[in-house]
C-alpha cells in the first residue's frame, strides 16, 4: 500500500460538468458534458438541521428534564462558482438560458433564462481538481485532489458590472446526495463512494481540462 503524505488543497485547476437526468444518472450524448480550466474558485458550505430540544420544568420552575438532539446533515450550499471569462455554452449549462448562435451555428452570445422558468433542470454533477501541496511543493506521487459534487442545482448570482473592472461570472445553488451518479460515465471512473453531497481523494494525474468546450458523455466507462 502506498502511503499518501498529508497535503493541503491549493488552486482551482479546472472542472468537468455533466448534465444529469431525472434519476441523477449522467445524460448520455455528444455534448452533455463540458471540460474547462476557465475556473476561478468554488466556495461551498455544509448545512445542518438543528435537532429538536425537549425540556420540562418542575413545580418550582427548575428544569427536571432536558434533551437536545444532535444536528444532522441537511444539504450543501454552493456559495459561489466563479468563472474567469464569459463562455456562453458553459454559462447556459450551469445557469440555464440560451446560447445565441450565428448562421453557421457557432456560439456568439448568451440570453438569460426566461422569467418564471427553472434554470437548474435535473441538475449537474461537478468534478473539480486542485493541487495537493505540502511544504516542499506539489506532492511527488499524488499531486492532485479530485473533488466530486454529484448533484447541484445552480443559478446565476452576484452583481455583474460592465465597467473597467473584469466582469465576474458567478453561480450559486444547492447540492444534494445522488446515488445515481455511480462511478461516472468517463474512462477515469470514480472508484470510491460518490453519493454524498461532496467527496474527494488524491490522484496522480488529471484529465485534459484545457478543451474549454463540450465533450461527449459515453454510455459508461
81 lies in some domain = yes
pTM of this structure: 0.90
3 lies in some domain = no
User: How many whole angstroms separate alpha carbon 133 and alpha carbon 4?
Assistant: 12
**Per residue in 128-182, pLDDT tens?**
999 998 877 778 889 999 999 999 999 998 788 888 888 889 999 999 999 999 9
**Per residue in 81-109, pLDDT tens?**
999 988 999 999 999 999 999 999 899 99
Radius of gyration of the chain (CA): 21
179 lies in some domain = yes
SS3 86: coil
Looking at residue 221, its pLDDT comes to 54
**Per residue in 191-219, pLDDT tens?**
999 999 999 999 999 999 999 999 999 87
29 lies in some domain = yes
2 lies in some domain = no
Establish how many alpha carbons lie within 13 A of residue 128's alpha carbon, considering only the half-sphere containing its beta carbon.
25
184 lies in some domain = yes
Number of domains in the chain: 1
Looking at residue 159, its pLDDT comes to 80
174 lies in some domain = yes
Host domain of residue 85? 8-217
89 lies in some domain = yes
Amino acid at each position: 500500500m502506498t502511503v499518501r503524505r498529508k497535503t493541503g488543497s491549493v488552486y482551482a485547476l479546472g472542472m468537468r460538468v455533466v448534465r444529469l437526468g431525472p434519476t441523477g444518472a449522467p445524460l448520455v450524448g455528444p455534448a452533455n458534458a463540458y471540460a474547462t480550466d476557465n475556473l476561478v474558485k468554488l466556495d461551498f458550505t455544509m448545512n445542518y438541521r438543528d435537532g429538536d430540544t425537549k425540556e420540562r420544568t418542575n413545580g418550582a420552575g427548575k428544569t427536571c428534564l432536558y434533551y437536545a438532539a444532535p444536528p444532522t446533515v441537511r444539504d450543501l450550499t454552493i456559495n459561489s462558482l466563479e468563472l474567469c471569462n464569459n463562455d456562453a455554452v458553459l454559462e447556459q449549462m450551469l445557469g440555464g438560458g440560451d446560447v445565441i448562435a450565428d448562421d453557421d451555428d457557432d456560439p456568439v452570445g448568451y440570453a438569460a433564462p426566461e422569467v418564471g422558468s427553472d434554470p437548474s433542470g435535473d441538475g449537474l454533477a461537478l468534478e473539480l481538481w486542485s493541487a495537493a501541496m505540502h511544504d516542499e511543493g506539489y506532492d511527488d506521487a499524488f499531486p492532485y485532489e479530485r473533488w466530486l459534487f454529484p448533484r447541484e442545482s445552480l443559478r446565476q448570482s452576484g452583481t455583474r458590472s460592465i465597467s473597467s473592472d473584469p466582469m465576474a461570472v458567478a453561480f450559486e445553488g444547492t447540492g444534494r446526495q445522488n446515488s445515481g451518479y455511480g462511478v461516472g460515465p468517463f474512462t477515469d471512473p470514480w472508484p470510491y463512494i460518490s453519493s454524498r453531497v461532496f467527496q474527494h481523494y488524491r490522484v496522480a494525474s488529471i484529465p485534459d481540462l484545457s478543451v474549454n468546450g463540450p465533450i461527449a458523455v459515453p454510455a459508461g466507462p
